[in-house]
Amino acid sequence: MKLQEIIQLTFVASLVLMGAGCKALQNFSAGQEWSSNYALMEGAQANDPAIIDGDLKTVGQTQYVESSMSGEDNYVRTMATYAAPSEAVVILPEPKAIHRVVIHSANVIQMLDIWITDSNGKWEKVKEVKSNKENKIDIRLTRTIHTAGVRARIRKTVDDAALRRKNVRRGFGFRQIGGKTKAQAKIAEFELYGFVTGTEPGAAASEVKDDEAELDLLLSQ
């Protein structure tokens, strides 16, 4: 075999390998369409499965973060439990590149944080929402995050004030707390999106239209 043939063969083989390696990049550049909702993947789990059942009629609830202050005295532990925030947690069967989180809630969530987990199970806060007034919260992450776990920690809902009125009594300069002071969020759906890849069949066409409409609105302003 001539050297020229060997070089040609090597060149062809390299092209094949590079082609395969660049598949992900090709998929990425194929289009900026939203993927299907990853929370609906087979094997996805949540701390309340009603938030990932694909049905806006079923309303789930965030769960209070359990106090881990078992060593503290009773009073401190009780107070920490009363003021504990609540969370919605979604675990995917495999890590996905997440770029957008959509939360449909029945009671308005005014303040929340979005956290993602790394491969060691450590959580990192990636977004804060501070003054929301809508039932649908559409959060775009500033970077695409490859993760299998996303949680929303609820800081404030419209129901907090009523709950505080019920559970906190004031008088003679004292404050008596008899129960939770932060209400649970009532979440109908917790949706997670990335960008559609070439191999993925379920590109969410409606979401793309949604985006286009949003863009049109912005341009017309």
Residue 78, C-beta contacts closer than 8 angstroms, at least 6 positions apart: none
The binder of another protein chosen from 21, 43, 71, 171 (CB under 8 A): 43
The binder of another protein chosen from 36, 37, 89, 104 (CB under 8 A): 89
Q: What is d(CA 188, CA 196) in angstroms, rounded to the nearest whole number?
A: 24
The binder of another protein chosen from 27, 33, 50, 200 (CB under 8 A): 50
207 binds another protein (CB under 8 A): no
CB atoms within 10 A of CB 79: 15
Residue corresponding to tokens 């060691």: 120
Query: Half-sphere exposure (CA, 13 Å, Cβ side) for 15?
Result: 6
Please identify, using beta-carbon distances, which residue of 27 and 67 lies nearer to another protein. Answer: 67
Q: What are the backbone angles phi and psi of residue 124, rounded to the nearest 5°? A: -135, 130
The binder of another protein chosen from 35, 48, 195, 204 (CB under 8 A): 48
| Token reading at 35 | 């993927």
Please identify, using beta-carbon distances, which residue of 116 and 137 lies nearer to another protein. Answer: 116
Q: What is d(CA 126, CA 29) in angstroms, rounded to the nearest whole number?
A: 24
114 binds another protein (CB under 8 A): no
Q: Give residues in contact with another protein (CB under 8 A).
A: 1, 6, 9, 13, 17, 43-50, 52-53, 55, 57-61, 63-64, 66-68, 70, 89, 91, 93-95, 106, 117-121, 148-149, 179, 184, 186, 188
